[in-house]
Amino acid sequence: MSAALLDGRLIVVVGGGGVGKTTLAAALALGSAKAGQRTLVMTFDPSMRLKDALGVGDAARDAPVRVLDAPPGCLDAALLDVKRTFDQLVRTHAPDPAAAERILGNRFYRDMAGNLAGILEYMAMERLFEMQAEGGYDRIILDTPPTRQAMDFLQAPQRMMNLVDSKAIAFAMDPYWDGAASRNFAFRIAARGAMELSDRLIGRHFLLDVVEFIRAFAPLFAGFRSRAAAVGELLQAEGTRFLLVAGPGPERVPDAMFFLRKLAETGHRLGPVLVNLVAPDPGPGEEPGRRLLRFLAERDQRGLTQLRGLLAGGQEILPVALEAAPPGDLRSLGKLFARLDRTRPL
């Protein structure tokens, strides 16, 4: 196995859908724990496959759950629940309980905030910051959603800082609204010539709820900005590595190259590329099943060759063979890690 697979205090596992990324993240986390590292594996993949792979229940949405004790190492698992994380963030960082309840009781927050575009990535960023800041682990392994959504996570720190500094926030926080008209949001907005337009486009009450939400949230903005900056630095730190999991075959190469280029452009550090589910050569024979396996094996080798030719010199490719059944418990995950340990990089 390439030593770079477990080289880093934070390992971010990324890749397209259906390539076994979550299973490999769980196997790597198990191997890390058995090697004596206090390890946390966490996911913000909405499908929650990690919960099934490690046999943890919904309690892992609230706090990390112990999966394995392997002194001096251990393995904990955590699942991201967007709404719970957002609620806890408000309660923790609001200046007082009354301010927290003002946010939590806002209609816009209750009905829409948990479903806004990008909120999953923002909350994943907050949860990662929280786990890293607590300092209870030697290594954190982060399982991400499929490739394109994982890119949103990489961009979440900068997007959060842009949001806090946006014109919409400036509009809602304008000192004008703190004047004599502060008792009537409708008057304030009408006075600025926006009410008629808002009625036509988005509805008066919705706009008022949004403005009220932003003003209630104002005491938290500075913390959002500082934590977003800290996560951005963490994702580019020396001790952080990104492991790309790619599917086999030439048709998967463009997706892998897309993410590799994005990582290179943004200055993130890349570990080996794991090409998972590679069909093995079935050996000689003309039975229909064997011929199909031979076709798949030849296809997958073409994909490996193509990817190898596109990567810059020195970039490791680690092929991971297809198994008859995917790992479904700790014992089979341990066997998968042992196979990874015996695999030589291309």
Domain CATH code at residue 36: 3.40.50.300
Question: Taking every pair of C-alpha atoms in the chain, what is the biggest distance, in angstroms?
Answer: 88
pLDDT category of residue 188 using cuts at 50, 70 and 90:
low
Give rounded-to-5 percent helix, strand, coil for the chain.
60, 15, 25
Q: Are 281 and 319 in contact (CB under 8 A)?
A: no
Whether residue 158 is contained in a domain is answered as no
When pLDDT is averaged across residues 228-253 and rounded to a whole number, the result is 89
CA-closest candidate to residue 279, choices 266, 269, 289: 289
Choice among 175-189, 201-215, 327-341 with the minimum mean pLDDT: 175-189
Whether residue 235 is contained in a domain is answered as no
Residue 70 or 49, more confident: 70
Residues 31 and 131 in one domain: yes
Whether residue 32 is contained in a domain is answered as yes
pLDDT category of residue 103 using cuts at 50, 70 and 90:
confident
Q: Quote the pLDDT of residue 180.
A: 44
Whether residue 106 is contained in a domain is answered as yes
Whether residue 315 is contained in a domain is answered as yes
pLDDT category of residue 105 using cuts at 50, 70 and 90:
confident
Residues 262 and 275 in one domain: yes
**For the chain, what's the residue count?**
346
pLDDT category of residue 162 using cuts at 50, 70 and 90:
low
Q: Quote the pLDDT of residue 199.
A: 45
CA-closest candidate to residue 20, choices 268, 264, 243: 243
The mean predicted confidence, pLDDT, of the chain is 80
Residues 171 and 269 in one domain: no
pTM for the model: 0.81
Residues 167 and 42 in one domain: no
Whether residue 78 is contained in a domain is answered as yes
- In this predicted structure, the answer to whether residue 100 has a pLDDT above a threshold of 60 is yes
Residues 36 and 71 in one domain: yes
Tell me how far CA of residue 24 lies from CA of 19, 85, 152, 279, 335, in angstroms: 9, 26, 21, 17, 11
Residues 304 and 203 in one domain: no
- In this predicted structure, the answer to whether residue 212 has a pLDDT above a threshold of 80 is no
Range of the domain at 274: 3-83+118-151+240-342
Burial of 341 (0-12, 13-18, 19+ CB in 10 A): exposed
Choice among 21-25, 243-247, 321-325 with the minimum mean pLDDT: 321-325
Q: Which of 196, 223, 250 is the last residue of a domain?
A: 223
Q: Which of 176, 193, 223 is the last residue of a domain?
A: 223
Residues 190 and 302 in one domain: no
Whether residue 267 is contained in a domain is answered as yes
Q: Which of 223, 249, 265 is the last residue of a domain?
A: 223
Residues 197 and 321 in one domain: no
SS3 115: helix
Residues 269 and 249 in one domain: yes
Whether residue 156 is contained in a domain is answered as no
Tell me how far CA of residue 321 lies from CA of 14, 18, 168, 277, 318, in angstroms: 19, 15, 51, 5, 10
Residues 123 and 253 in one domain: yes
Residue 203 or 324, more confident: 324
Residue 282 or 34, more confident: 34
DSSP state of 215: H
Residue 154 or 7, more confident: 7
Q: Quote the pLDDT of residue 198.
A: 45
Residues 279 and 317 in one domain: yes
Split into its structural domains, the chain has a count of 2
**CB neighbours of residue 92 within 10 Å:** 12
When pLDDT is averaged across residues 148-173 and rounded to a whole number, the result is 62
Choice among 22-31, 164-173, 179-188, 226-235 with the minimum mean pLDDT: 179-188
Residues 194 and 321 in one domain: no
